[in-house]
Amino acid sequence: MTWLGSSQRWWIVFVGPSLLMLLAFTVIPIIAAAALSFFDWDLLTPPQFVGLGNFIELAGDEDFRAALIHTITFIFGYVPFVMAVGLGLALLLNERSRMAGVSRVVFFMPVVSAWVAVALMWRWMLNPRFGIINWALDLVGIDGPAWLFERGWAMVSVIAASVWKDAGFVMILFLAGLQTISKDYTEAARLDGANSWQVFRRVTFPLLSPAVLLVSIILLINSFQVFEQIWILTEGGPLGSTTVVVERIVTNAFSFGRMGYAAAMSWVLFAFIFAVTLLQTQLQDRWVHYGD
């Protein structure tokens, strides 16, 4: 139904509050961020117009480039890993609907918990001297590394904790995708003598490919914005080996008081996210199969 006549004008009453807030706290700030990126401003002295100065400085900023590389390293470790784990769990649970209810709660506990609390849990478990993980490794005769305090292992730890936290989320998305696949297809393939791997590779996966695309886009967008776990787990260390883009934005705005520079960085982050999302949707014709 559609409201007609004099009722028509009511739309302002309905959309107004949300629209006003959206304009004040999202649209105007987006425009302000664009303007801000052309200024140098520490909030204490008047803003200085610097033109493209911030972007030029950004192009030569070694710390920012390192943060970008670390972010991409995180993405390459985290995205395939969490997708594999999530898909594996979804495939296992799809056959066992009896366990679905309780699994949904168990695997979702990390998903719904605050990252700060989860990161602190892992920081405690990964403690080099008193952590339960190195104690367990010691039992089997392995001298565990210093994890978050050791170059290389720090990023591995961050990725592992992130996979642990998000596996249940990916699992739920894939379970929803799997439920749309009719059992007829997989059973037909089995009758033709296909083994489990062949059924998965030739039937299930192609039918699931739209879900895989969707999940990978969501994960990529989110992981470009990786921040909270880094902030708590490693604080960018050791020796700046796990700094990431959002951490740079926060540090520049927060600690260095460089608002314009931080705003410029946030635009570069947006550009990366936008470009990668676009690329993924462009490439989808090559491998995504929308059943017809």
**Span 123-182, contacts to other proteins by CB under 8 A:** 123-125, 127, 130, 132, 135, 164, 167-169, 172-173, 175-176
- Which residue of 73, 104, 206, 280 would you call a contact of other proteins, by CB under 8 A? 104
The residues near 21 (Cβ < 8 Å, ≥ 6 apart) are none
Q: Assess 109 for contact with other proteins (CB under 8 A).
A: yes
What DSSP letter does each residue of 131-152 carry, written as one string?
-HHHHHHHHTT-----GGGSTT
3-state secondary structure of 241: coil
Q: How many helices (H) and strands (E) does the chain have?
A: 14, 2
Asked if residue 255 binds other proteins (CB under 8 A), the reply is no
Residues between 68 and 87 that touch other proteins (CB under 8 A):
none
Which position among 84, 106, 142, 283 is part of the footprint of other proteins (CB under 8 A)?
Answer: 106
Residues 215 and 128: beta-carbon distance below 8 Å: no
Stretch that binds other proteins, among 66-74, 100-108, 144-152, 181-189 (CB under 8 A): 100-108
Q: Which of 280, 249, 222 is nearest to 75 (CA)?
A: 222
Nearer to other proteins, 117 or 140 (CB): 117
Whether the Cβ atoms of residue 66 and residue 240 lie closer than 8 Å to each other:
yes
CA angle 122, 127, 130 (to 5 degrees): 125
Under rule CB under 8 A, residue 273 binds other proteins:
yes
**CB atoms near residue 51 (< 10 Å):** 9
Q: Which of residues 219-248 bind other proteins (CB under 8 A)?
A: 221-222, 224-225, 227-228, 231-232, 246
Interface residue with other proteins among 79, 155, 230, 269 (CB under 8 A) is 269
x/- map, 18-57, other proteins, by CB under 8 A: xx-xx--xxxxxx-xx--x----x-x--------------
